[in-house]
């Protein structure tokens, strides 16, 4: 682990209360388990949260030698803890979407906080990358860049579940969670098809509007002559019927189809697909992916995106079976290759694959 000790950001402690339960579990895991030399994982809400081998080694060594005050150790710990929290909150969201309850708004608030913390960590990870490049530690800079790529994909996925107003609040909240200034890399293309949370919010707004119309109609009846009461009552009922049977059904659209491997006959190497409309998570055969050149990989992702657009999906994230993120597609920005051997080939405008100081 690097001997450089960074000054802890003065606002970073604001992330601590939300992440403490996951950090404690993470510490127990590395204190009680032995190094396996392979990719490790921690089970959260029925899913496995991946921990990169080099990250696991640094966390285990820091705990063993009492280096908990090292800011990079704290940054790595919070990054993995946030991954665990995102998985837990996504599981809660999936449960709420099956049958919305009052907890839905609590889950929305947690996802908004997750997005803000992710963007804050991205800024601080970029500062570490810049420092490593300046010191000539290119291998370590690449490791941190790959970690940043995975968190950037997480930020994109989180923001796709938020309504526009929630995305703006998350951006504002980010500044309160880190001392690092904002960068252009934090801009994520809006979801042109409308996220699920916007539909749920629209349904709730219509219900509140209907209740308000009824309440005002009843209040008006107390102050009007008897002949007018009938007319107002009739109008109130007509408005209620219009809202209940015309406007509300517009928000209950046919759900997006749950895609499977068989829906991508021209996409070689697809081993497994997890569809969470409007997002898709693909597990690729690593041998097939490795055998493809840059153009072939781009063509493979673009071929899959045609199926996604046809079915109103807005994003896809692709990993090999060993958990390595290699590509993503977003309806607003297109294909992006994330694999390590693409770092030297990506254009300078790509924020997630840069190794030059100042990248955000």
Give the pLDDT of residue 71. 81
Which of 229, 251, 273 is the endpoint of a domain? 251
In a domain, 24, yes or no: yes
**CB proximity list for 35: less than 8 A, separation 6 or greater:** 56, 57, 60
| Distance in angstroms (rounded) separating the CA atoms of residues 316 and 276 | 10
284 and 161, same structural domain? no
105 and 150, same structural domain? yes
In a domain, 256, yes or no: no
For each of the chain's 360 residues, which pLDDT tens digit applies? 444 444 444 677 788 888 889 888 888 888 777 766 666 788 888 888 888 888 888 888 877 766 555 788 888 889 998 999 998 888 888 877 776 666 777 888 888 889 989 998 999 999 999 999 999 999 999 999 999 998 888 888 888 888 888 888 888 888 888 888 876 545 444 443 345 555 555 666 777 777 777 777 666 656 555 566 567 667 777 777 666 665 555 555 578 888 888 888 877 889 899 989 889 999 999 888 889 899 999 999 998 888 888 888 999 999 999 888 999 999 888 899 986 554 444 443 344 443 334 443
231 and 268, same structural domain? no
In a domain, 7, yes or no: no
Give the pLDDT of residue 142. 92
Give the pLDDT of residue 343. 42
266 and 241, same structural domain? no
178 and 35, same structural domain? yes
Asked if 49 and 59 touch (Cβ cutoff 8 Å), the reply is no
314 and 178, same structural domain? no
88 and 149, same structural domain? yes
116 and 37, same structural domain? yes
C-alpha dihedral sign at 36, 42, 46, 48: negative
In a domain, 2, yes or no: no
310 and 224, same structural domain? no
Q: Cα separations (Å) of 217 from 208, 242, 250? A: 14, 15, 24
- Phi/psi at 274 (5° precision): -115, 110
Domain count, the chain: 3
In a domain, 360, yes or no: no
Give the pLDDT of residue 333. 86
Give the pLDDT of residue 200. 57
Backbone region of residue 7 per phi and psi (left: phi > 0; alpha: psi in -120 to 50; beta: other values): beta
Domain of 345? 261-353
Give the pLDDT of residue 229. 57
pTM over 0.85: no
For helices 71-98 and 16-32, give the axis angle rounded to 10 degrees. 110
Q: DSSP letter at 285?
A: P
Give the pLDDT of residue 32. 78
282 and 228, same structural domain? no
332 and 271, same structural domain? yes
Give the pLDDT of residue 250. 52
301 and 163, same structural domain? no
């Amino acid at each position: 682990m690097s001997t450089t000790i960074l000054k802890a950001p003065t606002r970073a402690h604001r992330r601590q209360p939300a992440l403490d339960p996951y950090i404690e579990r993470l510490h127990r895991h590395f204190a009680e388990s032995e190094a396996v030399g392979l990719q490790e994982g921690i089970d959260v809400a029925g899913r496995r949260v991946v921990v990169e081998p080099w990250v696991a080694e640094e966390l285990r060594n820091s705990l063993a030698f009492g280096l908990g005050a090292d800011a990079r150790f704290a940054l790595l710990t919070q990054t993995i803890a946030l991954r665990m929290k995102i998985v837990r909150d996504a599981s809660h969201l999936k449960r709420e979407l099956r049958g919305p309850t009052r907890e839905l708004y609590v889950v929305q608030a947690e996802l908004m906080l997750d997005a803000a913390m992710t963007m804050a960590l991205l800024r601080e990870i970029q500062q570490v990358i810049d420092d490593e490049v300046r010191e000539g530690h290119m291998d370590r800079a690449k490791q941190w860049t790959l970690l940043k790529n995975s968190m950037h994909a997480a930020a994109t996925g989180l923001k796709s579940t938020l309504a526009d107003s929630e995305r703006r609040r998350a951006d504002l909240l980010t500044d309160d969670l880190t001392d690092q200034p904002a960068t252009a890399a934090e801009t994520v293309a809006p979801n042109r098809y409308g996220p699920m949370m916007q539909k749920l919010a629209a349904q709730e707004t219509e219900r509140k509007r209907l209740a308000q119309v009824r309440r005002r109609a009843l209040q008006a009846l107390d102050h009007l002559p008897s002949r007018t009461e009938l007319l107002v009552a009739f109008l109130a009922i007509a408005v209620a019927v219009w809202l209940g049977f015309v406007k509300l059904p517009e928000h209950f659209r046919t759900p997006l189809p749950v895609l499977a491997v068989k829906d991508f006959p021209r996409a070689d190497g697809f081993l497994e697909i997890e569809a969470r409309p409007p997002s898709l998570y693909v597990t690729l055969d690593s041998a097939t992916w490795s055998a493809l050149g840059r153009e072939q990989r781009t063509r493979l992702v673009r071929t899959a995106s045609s199926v996604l657009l046809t079915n109103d999906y807005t994003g896809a994230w692709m990993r090999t079976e060993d958990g390595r993120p290699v590509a993503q597609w977003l309806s607003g920005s297109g294909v992006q290759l994330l694999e390590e051997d693409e770092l030297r080939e990506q254009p300078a405008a790509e924020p997630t694959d840069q190794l030059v100081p100042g990248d955000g």
